[in-house]
Amino acid sequence: MTVTELWCDRCGEQAAAGGHEPCAAARALEPPRYCAHCRRRMKVQVVPAGWSAVCVEHGEIRG
Amino acid sequence: MPEILDQARTQVLENGVGLDEAGVLAVLNLPDEHLPAALQLAHEVRMRWCGPEVEVEGIVSLKTGGCPEDCHFCSQSGLFTSPVRSVWLDIRALVEAAKQTAATGATEFCIVAAVRGPDARLMKQMREGVAAIKAEVDIQVAASLGMLTQEQVDELVEMGVHRYNHNLETCRSYFPNVVTTHSWEERWETLKMVRESGMEVCCGGILGLGESVEQRAEFAAQLAELDPHEVPLNFLNPRPGTPLGDRPVVEGKDALRAVAAFRLAMPRTILRYAGGREITLGDLGTRDGLLGGINAVIVGNYLTTLGRPATDDLKLLDDLKMPVKALSATL
Ligand code: SF4
Ligand SMILES: [Zn+2]
Ligand SMILES: [Zn+2]
């Protein structure tokens, strides 16, 4: 199944609503906070050389 | 040359006596055309009283989010609608983070927790974590766990934590505008206990919280009175959902004026670039700061936000011919 990115992973609002350019810019220096598939707030751990973010439904992503 | 810089040349550079509050304010009020001279003087002061080495540190959040306090800049307060969720780092990941930090050449690894003060669970995690790091990684361990009791101070000393960070955040007169769940004086109490324990005191704050220029000078003077081993200087990175989420970032030139002024107030301290430098000053700011009084950096990511890659900072230090302080020099 392909999951589509419905939500902005920074502000948690609908991706299709637009206006997320500032979010995209901020994301250069921030990990994601919301799951882009389901809008749940993720458990995010930042470490010196990376980060991980976990959605209970959609699993872990890393950066 | 403005009079204050002439005065600082004799008083601070030659005699090693920091500027007082009025002197700091004069530096903070210098017009733009004198900023390069102020930075140059601050750099000379740093070279004269601290030397060319730069102390490199990594930090990690052991317990993130869900903090009961209400520091208005903080995305980890559980009292605001911030998207930061509560999470604990396990010991394995903590040791891994210390290893990543040591691999950059850093000599300092600071373990931070978003708490009012430690509880038994956090102290247990610290005990196990610090022991595991000391067994596997060649790095000095610092901690930042909020307000401490005397017993907790003693326990941290026993664990081998060599430096304790507890920021006053802002000057005494502005503090109640930023934090209402505890007082500046309570923070000062913890700092006194830490000082008396023999641990190194690390105490700084955040600029851009809405304080006036006069209050920035007041803050520098209060820090100078405390005389910390290290002063981390942060610039507000406005966090979504916090009461200060819509504040403008500090203007780059004001940030650099503050770097020079804080150095001229505290000629011998380790003055560290901490959070927000990327947002306030961009890539060039790190260079300007290192040539304007800064002699320490946090490399890699912060607690909830990301930093420049450590390699960028290390390359810059190399370009500037500033040696990274070695572990042997700090022991
Ligand atoms: S005590 Fe620390 S973690 Fe808690 S709200 Fe204040 S700055 Fe944030
Ligand atoms: Zn967005
Ligand atoms: Zn999800």
Across residues B249-253, what is the average pLDDT? 95
| A59 Ramachandran zone, left/alpha/beta (phi>0; psi -120 to 50) | left
Judge whether A2 lies within some domain.
no
Q: Give domain status of residue A20, yes or no.
A: yes
The CA-CA-CA angle for residues A23, A26, A32, to 5°, reads 75
Task: Identify whether A22 is part of a domain.
Answer: yes
pLDDT above 90: residue B180: yes
pLDDT category of residue B242 using cuts at 50, 70 and 90: very high
A39 touches chain B (CB under 8 A): no
Task: State how far the Cα of B109 lies from the Cα of B140, in Å rounded to an integer.
Answer: 6
The answer to whether residue A4 is domain-embedded is no
B65 SS3 class: coil
**Could you read off the pLDDT of B187-231 as tens digits, one per residue?**
999 999 999 999 999 999 999 999 999 999 999 999 999 999 999
Q: With contacts defined as CB-CB under 8 Å, which chain B residues touch A22? A: none
How far apart, in whole angstroms, are the C-alpha atoms of residue B203 and residue B223? 8
- B83:A43 CB<8 A: no
Segment B87-105 shows an average pLDDT of 96
Q: Find the radius of gyration of the CA atoms of chain B.
A: 19
Question: Comparing C-alpha atoms, which of B177, B256, B186, B188 is closest to residue B223?
Answer: B188
Task: Say if residues B242 and B82 touch (Cβ distance below 8 Å).
Answer: yes
- Cβ neighbours around B32 below 10 Å, total: 8
Residue A1 has pLDDT above 50, yes or no: no
Q: Distance (Å, rounded) from C-alpha B26 to C-alpha B17?
A: 16
> What is the C-alpha to C-alpha distance for residues B192 and B58, in angstroms, rounded to an integer?
25
Would you state the pLDDT for residue B110?
A: 98
User: Is B300's CB within 8 Å of A48's CB?
Assistant: yes
Calculate the average pLDDT of chain B.
96
Q: Which residue has the tokens 């699993």?
A: A59
* Mutation pick for ligand 1 pocket among B71, B116, B144, B175 (CB with most ligand atoms within 8 Å): B71
Q: How many domains does chain A have?
A: 1
Instruction: Give the H/E segment covering residue B207.
Output: strand B205-207
Whole-model pTM: value is 0.95
Domains parsed from chain B with CATH numbers: 3-319 (3.20.20.70)
Indicate yes or no: CB of B300 within 8 angstroms of CB of A34.
no
pLDDT at B329: 53
What percent of chain B lies above the pLDDT cut of 90? 95
Q: Is residue A31 in some structural domain?
A: yes
Are the C-beta atoms of residues B236 and B73 closer than 8 Å to each other? yes
Q: What are the backbone angles phi and psi of residue B69, rounded to the nearest 5°?
A: -85, 170
Q: Is the pLDDT of residue A62 over 70?
A: yes
- What's residue B225's pLDDT? 97
B31-43: per-residue pLDDT in tens? 999 999 999 999 9
DSSP letter (8 states) at residue B212:
-
Answer yes or no: are the C-beta atoms of B249 and B209 closer than 8 Å.
no
What domain range is A33 assigned to?
Answer: 15-62
- pLDDT at A4 (0 to 100): 74
Pairing of strands B200-202, B163-165: parallel
Residues 6+ apart with CB under 8 A from B265: B18, B19, B20, B23, B24, B220, B221, B223, B224
Q: Stretch B223-248: mean pLDDT, rounded?
A: 97
Does a structural domain hold residue A25? yes
Complex-level ipTM: 0.92
Residue A7 resides in a domain: no
The sign of the CA dihedral B187, B189, B193, B198 is positive
Q: Give the sign of the dihedral formed by CA B170, CA B149, CA B302, CA B121.
A: negative
| Cα-based distances in Å from B147 to A24, B60, B151, B184 | 36, 18, 12, 11
What average pLDDT does the segment B46-62 reach?
97
On whether residue A8 sits in a domain, the answer given is: no
Residue type, B246: D
Q: How far apart are CA B232 and CA B288, in angstroms?
A: 16
Q: Counting atoms of ligand 1 from 1, which one is nearest the CA of B67?
A: 4
pLDDT at B104 over 80: yes
